[in-house]
Chains A and B, each alone.
Chain A
Amino acid sequence: MRFATSLAACALALAFSTAVLAQGLPRAAKPEEVGLSTDRLKRLSDRMKQGVKDGELPGAVVLVARNGKVAYLESFGLRDPEAKAEMKNDAIFRIASMTKPFVSVAIMMLAEEGKLSIAHPVSQYLPEFKDLKVGVVKKKDDGTSEVVLEAPKRQMTIQDLLRHTSGLSYGVAGSDPLKQAYVDAKVGDPNQTNAEMVTKLSKLALIHQPGTTWEYSHSTDVLGAIVEVVSKMPLDQFIAERIAKPLKLPDTGFMVDASKANRGARPQKEGPKNEMPNVPLVTNNAKWKSGGGGMVSTAADYARFCQFLLNGGQLDGVRLLSRKTVELMTANHLPPNVLMGPDMWRFEALEPGRHMGQGFGLGFAVRVDAGRSPLHGSVGDYFWGGAYGTYFWIDPKEKMFVVVMMQSPAARLPYRYLMRELVYQAVVN
């Protein structure tokens, strides 16, 4: 009886301890086992602790895995500054645009089933997009501007959506009437359905000719709508049943249950106006399941997703995509003469332009040059980030990936640069 109890206790302890680590992803005994230096990783830990101490960010969880093993997993600072709750490895974060790779994978899964082709025009699945026009802002003689509509030279395709060359935009209030129109139409309304969003977009002018310009946009939200139309199920249900469940990502979805509320990471007041950033609670159940930014996840879950990609489309015996599809997704899809949208400089070193040695694939930015980017990495590495502060990158050459979870819009760019630097300086083989 006692033996059975201690056995049960062991099993429980084991299950509990592995539960907080990338469930199932093995842990390296020490970083040196996978060519990383314990001493040099300490620089990363020290810098994160210093950042928290200096008030640069409320807290973070950082995970580094190499050769299929988690080599570093640390939490820093506070999960919830108001509640003064310490950050823990299993904290849940709003991942914003790190939703986009999930939805891109969903599209490619449907493509592998023959239910769509990314070469097809979007209008084949969303007929409302058939008559989209391109808006051109022309200055009149009296100094005012007017919007003139042109026919698109070719139809927008699903590939355009995946690589953000669709001609769509994000709404921005301000002097650009085309982007202001998105704001006026409430394209990002959290109370809409994806179908309603598509109808709104179908009435707006595109801001570029399809295929000509990389402009970060609602494209992935449109992909989410296509997933719904083709799979005949809501986007959150598709993600849950076809991706999160098979890959064993229990804390990944468009929200988490109230029972997990005490694991939700929160931001702190920040920025020049010392304001609380608008980050929805992880338990927030928005009606609009935004394929461009609506999900939550944990470091451990997103690490499993990264390992799935690094493994070429399968994890722990569950295959969702073929190797060839992952190869296609993680190649550069931007044509040589593609333009960068006029405001895309705001991505700084993450801008997927040739001047930064980068391009964009089907759901990720990809590195195409060893140099030009001021950040460490490898040719072929691919990455993206979320506006609330989260970031990840996958480096097939070094068989490594890194997941950075934090909720701090203001600190996100500087911390991405630091993470690239501090992780790679620890590579010692």
Chain B
Amino acid sequence: MLMRRLLLATTAALFIAAPVLAQGLPRAAKPEEVGLSSDKLKAFTARLKEGVDKGEIPGVVAIIVRNGKVAYVDAVGFRDREEKAAMKPDAIFRIASMTKPIVSLAIMMLAEEGKLSIAQKVSDFIPEFAKLEVGVEKKKDDGTVELITEPQRRQMTVQDLLRHTSGLTYGTFDKSLVDQEYLKAGINNRNLTTREFIGKLIRLPLKHQPGTTWEYSVSTDVLAWIVEVVSGKPIDAFVAERITGPLKMPDTGFWVDAKNLGRLAEAQKDAQGQRPVMRDVKAPPSWPSGGGGMVSTAADYARFGQFWLNGGQLDGVRLISRKTVELMTANHLPPGTKLNAADTANPSPTRPTPVMGQGFGLGFAVRIAEGRNPMPGSVGEFYWAGAYGTNFVVDPKEKLVVVLMMQAPSQGANYRILMRQFAHEAITD
């Protein structure tokens, strides 16, 4: 009985909400119109529902766009399981690192205006970065390890920040001595202002020589600071005025307006009765994090995906040229780029390594091989994900945009693979 009510509520929500989805993105009459199978997409929905029913995830919104038309949209499960609030297509999600492509876009827009070149040294914008040293772990005679530093062999560039070869790190994903310094300095304290964050960062050693190693890092937070320095605008204002406003992504920003709080999706309680701690997005943050501070909806992010697929423009609004999209979505990792220790120890299909047939561009991972990767896809596809469970992929060969939004941090990796599987299986042409 509850299941049927849920099913009815979901389907009703689907039909009612259709006009507000991906505002302006036309809707395919049926999936077959764009070479997708209705039956396979129903199976996708069934699997998502199964995930909700099994308690894996509280709820999810998924969208598939092909040839510029929305072919599939579904809202399954709960926006807030504990509040018994049904998931609706217009639910708002904390997108975490899916913020990074938006901030990377901001940098490239400034480059297109001639205001910066990504070939420039970061120290052109943050002079203290010229003197950063690189931490080296040295074994002492007594068997302990100490951290000494050596100078940068070549200066970090803006391109290094975009492709995560800056030598910076996060602090939270590894136990190296430099990572520990990051934690000691409280680098991820969300009560900092952006300026204070940069102030702490310039006192920390780099983890790697710039340009040598791919390590996921606070690089994009540094990019957000550069956007502020160059544009004279705070990052949230720049993004609102120059990106989400013109692209008509009204629910995408660095916090949720009070009037929209009833649409904010929440993670469910875990076995210990605790909700995972996620970013507080209920008020304007002191530090709008370019690395992970934004919220969005499936519809908004689908528009964003289509913007990329269109070569930098959407509905007559051009933000960047096709050539910039080409540059951003190419692999930028030089041959022989090392992978950080944590990822090397736990290889994952979504890590940018030649072994997985992937590289990294300017803000996205990019697929560079047909095979090697266990997930279906195409050479040239680009994607990223957020730690709270959201993910997206843009596939220029298949003219496909797929967005999956949920707040389920522990299930993100699983559902990333699932989404790829079901979306690609549905292709019939």
Contacts and interface: CB of A to CB of B under 8 A. Distances in A.
B188 interface: no
Contact of B321 (A370, A417, A424): A424
B177 interface: no
B334 A421 contact: no
B180 interface: no
A374 B159 contact: yes
A429 B154 CA distance: 37
Interface string B237-249: 0000000000000
B111 A369 contact: no
B334 A355 contact: yes
Between B318, B321, B326, B332, the greatest number of chain A beta carbons within 10 A of the residue's beta carbon is seen for B321
B220 to A, nearest CB: 16
Interface in A344-382: 345, 348-349, 354-356, 369-372, 374-376, 378
Given A421-B112, A422-B114, A424-B323, A371 B119 contact: no
B261 to A, nearest CB: 39
Secondary structure of the B side of the interface?
Answer: loop
A43 interface: yes
Contacts of A372: 330-334
A354 B331 CA distance: 12
Contacts of A421: 111-112, 114, 117
B142 interface: no
B118 A374 contact: yes
A371 B321 contact: no
B312 to A, nearest CB: 9
A288 to B, nearest CB: 34
Contacts of A418: 114, 117
A174 interface: no
Between B158, B159, B327, B334, the greatest number of chain A beta carbons within 10 A of the residue's beta carbon is seen for B327
Between B332, B362, B366, the greatest number of chain A beta carbons within 10 A of the residue's beta carbon is seen for B332
B321 A428 contact: yes
B421 interface: no
A74 to B, nearest CB: 14
B330 A369 contact: yes
Contacts of B333: 371-372
A40 interface: yes
Contact of A417 (B112, B120, B323, B327): B120
Contacts of B321: 40, 424-428
Interface in B295-337: 318, 320-324, 326-327, 330-336
Given A355-B334, A371-B332, A417 B320 contact: no
Interface string B132-156: 0000000000000000000000100
Contacts of B117: 374-375, 414, 417-418, 421
B335 A355 contact: yes
B331 A369 contact: yes
B119 A424 contact: no
Interface string B143-185: 0000000000010011100000000000000000000000000
B335 A354 contact: yes
B429 interface: no
Nearest to A336: B335
Interface in B357-405: 359, 361-362, 366
A376 B113 contact: no
B324 A44 contact: no
A356 B117 CA distance: 15
B173 to A, nearest CB: 25
Contact of B114 (A47, A354, A375, A429): A47
Contacts of B158: 374
A345 B112 contact: no
B383 to A, nearest CB: 16
Interface string A29-50: 0000000000010011011000
Nearest to B359: A371
A421 B362 CA distance: 15
B327 A43 contact: no
A43 B320 CA distance: 13
Nearest to B334: A355
Contacts of A426: 321
B211 to A, nearest CB: 8
Contacts of B362: 371
Contacts of B326: 370, 378
A376 B320 contact: no
A406 to B, nearest CB: 15
Contacts of B118: 374
Nearest to B336: A355
B330 A427 contact: no
Contacts of A371: 327, 330-333, 359, 361-362, 366
Interface of B: 111-114, 117-120, 154, 157-159, 211, 318, 320-324, 326-327, 330-336, 359, 361-362, 366
Interface of A: 40, 43-44, 46-47, 345, 348-349, 354-356, 369-372, 374-376, 378, 398, 414, 417-418, 421-422, 424-429
6 contacts: A47-B113, A369-B330, A371-B362, A371-B366, A372-B334, A425-B112
